[in-house]
Structure 1
Amino acid sequence: MKNFFRPTIYIVAATISLFFCLLLSSIGYGKTITLAAENWQPYVFKQDKHNGFACRVISKAFEKVGVSVEYHFTNWARALEMAKDGTIDGTFLWYKTAEREPFFYFSEAPILTISVVFFHRKNMLFNWDTLDNTKSYLIGAPIGSHISDEFERYDKSGLINVKRISSDITLFRMLIRSRIDLFPHDFFVGYSQLNNSFSDDFSRVITNHPKPLTERPSYLLLSKKNPENRKIIKLFDKGFSQLMESGEYDQFLDEVLTKKQPTP
């Protein structure tokens, strides 16, 4: 009797073990990764319940495949460098460029599309059709940011005058004080920063040109320093697809858009 039950117990135990292995395999690694970004409200915001729209989307997509996310908040240049070195697992809301592709795995779909416009003082008459029209202006831009392929080409060729600064808020202060003339920046983020970091008297002196400088998709990047990230980015792609199909992505975005709207 004992000999009969012993192999039966082993078979049951093995079956249960195999079931849980398959279950864990289907939902992901059950691990935690660390991503870095700069406070960039409404997309990234440390004080928000969900850490901002982009963090909410990324966390929810990873949650669907059994991966947890912790966020490290720093400036953009540092976030990219830490991810490139493998100090952290990745960063997000970056354009896909030839310079970055050797160092990062990119998500298959963009997290969101960044619409960049030129911010300027209202008392400065400004109009532009091509970047040639901006040659006489001092343009402020964040360190490490890739505004557009054309902008970078003009910048590297010295065809436009660009001053690189680490902080968006500092760039807006410089714009208000006439220390720079133009600031290419995301439309929603720009007005969110003006509304939340400056008094009405100061924020009202800034406006934007309606013509977008660029509208480009931005992605999640995971460091190639960790080979496991190749599998994790595919897990994210799976979770993100489920998030889009469920309608949750649109729900999260609607919640952002129905909050206080930016006013040019």
Structure 2
Amino acid sequence: MFAEERHQKIAELVGAQGRAGVNELAGLFSITQETVRRDLAVLEESGQLRRVHGGAVAPDQLSRSELSLGERQGRHMDEKQRIATAALALIPHTPTASILLDSGTTTAALADRLAGWSPAKAGDELLVITNSLPMAVSLGTNTKLLLDIVGGRVRGLTSAVVGARATEQLGGLRPDIAFIGANGIHEDFGLSTPDPVEAATKTAMVKAARQVVVLADASKLGAETLVRFATLEEIDTLVTTAEPAPDLAAALAAAGVEVVLA
């Protein structure tokens, strides 16, 4: 295989997986680790990937890389729908229940299902609290739900309400379950997101809830972004679409996190 052809295949692999290790690439192409590192240097110079310790990541996996809400809505849609179905089953069927919905496209898939929610028994109530403007609009059409929206500053990129007022309000709440999104879930770094202000809001949600359920498709597993907002020990359940890699699986087990495959 010519070097140019190998470069193209490496770039395609990293783009599809989000990351690849030096050892993995050396074995896949039957080349030395030194050759892999030279290939990664060439690809980084052309902007097709970014080298990190032990391998490379796709450009959109950098610590501060963040797509807008609209750009993310069409990605991994099948996985997000499966996660939403599994998450819906976790909502308790009790006379009174309260849930907190974080802003994000995976949590939005759950919100879409809740837009059609109706009580299992007459008189049952479900209070949904969210910091997402689009979710509030969608959920507001269901008169069978009770809906609260967190107040504060709106972050344009994600349409999420964030900031000091939001975190203060969340500190005075104790919902039954918080459904939280994440840009990265890593065995050492924990749960992360690129923006510090949005991270602070997520931290407040995690601390507020009696139970924390993270909704994340397989592309988020093993990833790290700029700001940690929770450790693995602070979450109760991870709903995802693939078995975590061994290191992450071990860390989740050690932290007592239940992994639900959708």
- Using structure 1 for the length normalisation, give the TM-score: 0.36
Taking CA–CA contacts closer than 8 Å with sequence separation of 6 or more, which of the two structures ends up with the larger relative contact order? 1
Determine which structure has more spread, i.e. the larger CA radius of gyration. Answer: 1
